[in-house]
Amino acid sequence: MRWAIVLAAAFLIVGCESQQEDAAEQSAATAKTVKSPEPKPGESVRKMFAAGRFYPAEAAKLSKEVKKHISSAGKVKIPGRTVALVAPHASLVYSGHVAGHAYASVAGKSYDTVVILGSHAPGEGVSILDVDWYKTPFGYVKVDRETVKKLLEHTYYDYEPGRHRDHAIEIQVPFLQEALKPGFKIIALATNDACADFAHKIGHDLAHALEGKKVLLVASTDLSHYPPYESAKEIDGKIIDSWKELDGLFVVEREKSLMKEYAGTRELHCVMCGKAAVAIAIEAAKHLGADSIDILKYANSGDIPQGDKKEVVGYAAAAIYKKEDKVEKTVELSKEAQDYLLKVARSAIAEATGGQKAPEIEEESEELKAKLGVFVTLYKNGALRGCIGCFESDKTLPRTVAKYAVFSAMNDTRFDRMKAAELKDIKIKISVLSAPGKIDSTDEIEIGKHGIWICDPDSGRSGTYLPEVATEMNWNKEQFLTSCCRDKAGLPGDCWKKGNVEIYTYTTQIFGEK
């Protein structure tokens, strides 16, 4: 029966479809755009091996299938920075809907390097793909040869081309091309069962070679092979629970113990075919800062309409991540503190424009001792007259407010320096900022609640809009982001859609003079 699963999957993928379906598909879906330049003459390419058997060889059909599996998972939210995924590798007919949950969790995100670990190919040690490009029906993906060379310096790594004819690795690449922002490179590692015993060492070496890069690890594995449906659910549940310990060696030992515990189960051939891949990914992810795991989906081949519950293969999707505090931090200053900060701002401007010396700042209350970012906005007869601020400060709130009140009055280059006679016509507004937090997706931005800060690390340019700007301008999210890029940061308006910029959000408490 186990061969029937593979053969049935191949038939379903490459079997004939009606001319009407073909025509509709071609009109609805064109071939995927190549995500990177094509190889230059003389550059080496790892060509497709599993296309047409485990997934469609035609770009339009493959795109339709992969998109369907990712979109059917819905929005999968991970409360932190995803460092590794566990995804199955059977044909798309059987496990694509499970893999879709893994890739939905990183949809739209950007990474420098993606490391795919598979453990189907026999051989010693870890074979690392040492070519220039990887090809799928969607086009070419660049291999991170800089890191490959670092890894080949370790005696446990080599390159054996034959070990990379492995569908467990290959089937992950189209999902990555569909889900992630373009520009990532890949590393393909073929492991074996023996590697699981050295997961800690291999994971450490891998993480060390990847330092300084934004990395995603993908452990390719299916679960129990060929037991009856109910037995598979029980066994798979236990091995999945072992992942939650985030201990690669514990996972390896648990897999061995489960094989012994269920030795009498009919047709149980293995508990987890990619145990080395999972163990190494867990250890490398921990070295890269991961501290949490979410199990995103479980199913087996008996769960699809054409599945046979007598003998099944199990599948699971998981995300391993560095947990981040996603609780919105807001500022809540008392009315007394607000009034005092407004007085400080007016006194500081009066002194700067030639008036009497401002009184000494008092910081008796704990809330005034807070060291937070502020923006001080000045209005003259209802029109903007100046606005300057900061995202963080090493000074207490009154001292920060005094500093940026003066800067807004005297140093905003859009306006002339303020004169003392103007102060009577000025109204002051203060925005106290929460600490900015980097976001993984623009889906996290809430119009009217969040301010945005867009930074381009390559050029050093950055720009920000306070939360109220979008509301006042009646902008949607795209307009908010585009204007901030173009008009505040001096960057291309669509830079927020690309992987090279960083976007932060923050909240504000706003108060002002009546």
- Please give the C-alpha separations between residue 160 and each of 127, 188, 320, 343, in angstroms, as whole numbers: 6, 12, 29, 73
Alpha carbon distance 457, 470 (integer Å): 25
What is the full DSSP assignment across 133-152?
Answer: EEEETTEEEEB-HHHHHHHH
Q: Given this model, what pLDDT does residue 27 score?
A: 33
- Where are the chain's structural domains? 2-323, 335-430, 437-512
Question: Considering just the CA atoms, what is the radius of gyration of the chain in Å?
Answer: 28
Sheet arrangement for strand 113-118: 157-158, 126-128, 185-190, 113-118, 215-220, 80-87, 314-323, 292-300
Note the CATH number of domain 2-323: 3.40.830.10
Pick the CATH number of 437-512 from 3.40.50.11260, 3.10.310.30, 3.30.1490.150, 3.20.20.70: 3.30.1490.150
Q: Given this model, what pLDDT does residue 36 score?
A: 55
Tokens representing residue 114 in the block: 């993606």
Tokens representing residue 207 in the block: 């993480």
335-430: CATH topology is: Glycoprotein, Type 4 Pilin (3.30.700)
Please name the residue that has the structure tokens 């490959």: 148
Alpha carbon distance 227, 268 (integer Å): 5
Please name the residue that has the structure tokens 């008036």: 355
Alpha carbon distance 377, 388 (integer Å): 7
Closest CA to 6 of 192, 222, 236: 222
What pTM, to 2 d.p., does this model score? Answer: 0.64
Residues 6+ apart with CB under 8 A from 12: 91, 93, 306
Tokens representing residue 316 in the block: 């699971």
DSSP code for 378 = E
Alpha carbon distance 318, 105 (integer Å): 9
pLDDT string in tens for the chain (514-residue length): 443 333 333 322 233 223 333 333 333 333 344 445 789 999 999 999 899 999 999 999 999 999 999 999 998 988 888 999 999 999 999 999 999 999 999 999 999 999 999 988 777 789 999 999 999 999 999 999 999 999 999 878 889 888 888 899 999 999 999 999 999 999 999 998 888 888 989 999 999 999 888 999 999 999 999 999 999 999 999 999 999 999 999 999 999 999 999 999 999 999 999 999 999 999 999 999 899 999 999 999 999 988 899 999 999 999 999 986 544 567 889 999 999 999 999 999 999 998 778 888 876 788 898 889 999 999 999 999 999 998 888 889 999 999 999 999 999 999 999 999 999 999 999 999 988 888 878 888 999 999 999 988 777 788 899 998 999 999 999 999 999 999 999 999 998 987 678 898 999 999 999 8
Whether the Cβ atoms of residue 91 and residue 125 lie closer than 8 Å to each other: no
